């Protein structure tokens, strides 16, 4: 009877009757727990189904609790390597990633992926999809070699298993494009992103106005903003903004659509900033800040990212820029920790600002840039542009203050790094 009630809850959820579905799930779970221990298979299955329900509602904390209960139940009864347990680990990894904790997501996703490989085989869909998700987390952690191996494995396997035009396969191509952006292989990034974008636009269940399609389009705009043509980047961002402004709720919630909308607005503001269109940039970045504050709060990671962009605008008075960058730095330290790349980016930005008056702020600037260089060297691949830019500016700072020994060392290290990683693009030094 109680397992039947669990089936009823799933049916109610599919009909959009969310409150009734949740109550029915909870009644089924409570009833089962009266007669069975938490490791009972039926209890684990209801916990998993309720976790999926909460995940679809973006209630990640409740979903995490359900999947953890499900996984612990399977482990208690020696089913830790079963397909159901691995699916719970997979979901937990996705939740950690969605909550901005890739270091917690990685072990769960590794467990799921390699477990699926052993239990189901190499070319089974969960094996391949979990490889894609693990690859995405490895990108966030700067483990680019692992990420490339996993993303290529997922893409090639999904092409064979589902076909080249399946949405899941196209999603793997999109993940691979994001990896190549980080590795500065921008032509490859554009190629894979374009494949994913055209594929999603042509799929009946997605199409050009779907939220998932618009997200890929926004990433295409970001690539074009780096390699050009810049007018195409601008048109792409404007199209994304119009799309999310007019979008009906589809596969993603209205809240997420708003986050993506203001993300594209921020990207457009940064494009204008790089083009020297500073008043347009200020308007768009402030618009993004206002939107993110409504959607995520003042301490949201995206809010702080937009605040940092506004602080970095060349038109800002020194005191206003300092206030904005400090707000971003303090916010990232509280929410993400001192050693997160976003925190280090903010520390570097404050160091660059203090370089404008190195006679007064030399010690502060040097301390912030040294912190950024040390952190980036630990977090990112060797010769990453973020590391090398901070290293170069630290060298310039030391030279300006007469410390030629340290200045020469840091500048030479930066030049060698750019030669190794970027070739002729280091000529700006």
Q: What value does the CA radius of gyration of the chain take, rounded to a whole number of Å? A: 24
What is residue 296's predicted lDDT score, i.e. its pLDDT? 85
Task: Say if residues 102 and 141 touch (Cβ distance below 8 Å).
Answer: yes
- What's the pLDDT tens digit per position in 159-198? 999 999 999 999 999 999 999 998 889 999 999 999 999 9
Please state, in angstroms and rounded to a whole number, the distance separating the CA atoms of residues 215 and 233: 14
What is residue 4's predicted lDDT score, i.e. its pLDDT? 45
Please state, in angstroms and rounded to a whole number, the distance separating the CA atoms of residues 389 and 244: 34
Domains and CATH numbers, the chain: 208-314 (1.25.40.10), 316-423 (1.25.40.10)
Global model pTM greater than 0.85: no
Question: Which residue carries 């998993």 as its tokens?
Answer: 48
Q: Write down the H helix ranges in 142-166.
A: 144-162
Please state, in angstroms and rounded to a whole number, the distance separating the CA atoms of residues 165 and 310: 40
- What's the pLDDT tens digit per position in 196-249? 999 999 999 999 999 899 999 999 999 999 999 999 999 999 999 999 988 665
What is residue 18's predicted lDDT score, i.e. its pLDDT? 67
Burial (CB count within 10 angstroms: exposed 0-12, middle 13-18, buried 19+), residue 73: buried
Flag the least confident range among 26-35, 39-48, 85-94, 186-195.
Answer: 26-35
- Both tokens of 16, joined, read 């959009």
Please state, in angstroms and rounded to a whole number, the distance separating the CA atoms of residues 382 and 387: 8
Backbone angles phi, psi at 170, to 5 degrees: -65, -35
Model confidence at 94, pLDDT cuts 50, 70, 90, reads very high
- Both tokens of 38, joined, read 């938490």
Question: Which residue carries 């992926």 as its tokens?
Answer: 113
Which residues does 421 contact at the CB level (< 8 Å), separation at least 6?
A: 184, 382, 383, 384, 385, 388
């Amino acid at each position: 009877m109680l397992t039947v009630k669990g089936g009823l809850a799933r049916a109610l959820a599919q009909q959009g009757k969310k409150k009734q579905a949740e109550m029915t799930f909870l009644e089924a779970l409570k009833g089962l727990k009266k007669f069975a221990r938490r490791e009972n298979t039926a209890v684990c299955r209801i916990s998993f189904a309720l976790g999926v329900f909460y995940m679809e509602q973006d209630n990640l904390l409740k979903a995490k609790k359900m999947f953890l209960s499900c996984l612990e139940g399977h482990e208690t009864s020696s089913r830790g390597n079963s397909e159901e347990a691995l699916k719970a680990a997979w979901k937990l990894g996705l939740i950690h990633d969605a909550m901005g904790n890739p270091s917690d997501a990685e072990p769960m996703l590794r467990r799921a992926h390699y477990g699926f490989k052993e239990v189901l085989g190499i070319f089974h869909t969960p094996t391949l999809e979990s490889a894609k998700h693990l690859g995405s987390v490895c990108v966030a952690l700067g483990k680019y070699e692992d990420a490339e191996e996993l993303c290529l494995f997922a893409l090639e396997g999904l092409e064979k298993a589902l076909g080249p035009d399946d949405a899941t396969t196209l999603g793997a191509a999109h993940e691979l494009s994001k990896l190549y952006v980080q590795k500065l292989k921008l032509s490859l990034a554009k190629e894979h992103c374009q494949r994913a974008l055209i594929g999603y636009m042509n799929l009946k269940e997605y199409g050009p106005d779907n939220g998932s399609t618009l997200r890929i389009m926004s990433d295409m705009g970001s690539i074009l903003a780096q390699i050009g043509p810049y007018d195409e980047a601008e048109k792409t961002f404007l199209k994304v903004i119009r799309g999310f402004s007019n979008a009906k709720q589809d596969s993603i919630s209205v809240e997420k659509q708003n986050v993506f909308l203001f993300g594209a607005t921020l990207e457009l503001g940064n494009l204008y900033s790089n083009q020297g269109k500073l008043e347009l940039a200020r308007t768009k970045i402030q618009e993004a800040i206002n939107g993110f504050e409504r959607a995520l709060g003042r301490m949201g990671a995206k809010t702080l990212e937009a605040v940092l962009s506004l602080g970095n605008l060349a038109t800002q008075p020194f005191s206003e820029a300092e206030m904005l960058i400090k707000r971003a730095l303090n916010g990232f330290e509280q929410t993400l920790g001192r050693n997160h790349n976003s925190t280090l980016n903010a520390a570097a930005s404050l160091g660059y600002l203090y370089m404008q008056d190195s006679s007064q702020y030399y010690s502060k600037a040097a301390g912030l840039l040294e912190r950024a260089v040390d952190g980036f060297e630990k977090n990112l691949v060797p010769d990453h542009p973020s590391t090398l830019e901070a290293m170069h500016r630290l060298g310039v700072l030391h030279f300006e203050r007469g410390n030629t020994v340290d200045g020469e060392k840091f500048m030479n290290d930066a030049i060698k790094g750019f030669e190794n990683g970027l070739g002729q693009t280091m000529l700006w030094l």
